[in-house]
Amino acid sequence: MAASRYRRFLRLCEEWPVEETKQQRDLGSFLRQKVAQAFREGENTPIPDPEACDQMYESLVRIHTNFYKNKYPRLKDTTFTGVTVEDCRTILATDILRQMEDRKKGMWKRLREKFSAKKPEEDLK
């Protein structure tokens, strides 16, 4: 029975897209890591709680297939602020978040990082 559960999770991982714009923060990558950890022995991995495993799988399938998005359709594809889904994706991209972090730094810190030969983390040591 563990073999069929393992194959179902593998199939789900294959279908789940990986967003390249969200490096180290992507749900698809996180899911792949967790499945690899949970099924270390592959099909031979003993499952301590099969009901919880099946429940987790069904929940992930509902997320992947947009079950609740389809069940409760929205009238508009924008938020209350008028921001579209594409705008949100752009804002949450890793590159944009890094740029925003750089802007939060003070001018002195940015100049010091720019002209310093060593990394700022080494200054703290």
Domain ranges of the chain: 1-73, 76-118
- Distances in Å between the Cα of 1 and the Cα atoms of 8, 32, 116 are 11, 21, 58
Mean pLDDT of the chain: 81
Asked whether the beta carbons of 89 and 21 are under 8 A apart, the reply is: yes
Quick one: pLDDT band at residue 115, thresholds 50, 70, 90?
confident
Quick one: pLDDT band at residue 119, thresholds 50, 70, 90?
low
Helices marked H in the chain:
2-15, 27-38, 50-64, 67-71, 85-91, 94-104, 107-115, 120-123
Q: What is the pTM of this model?
A: 0.62
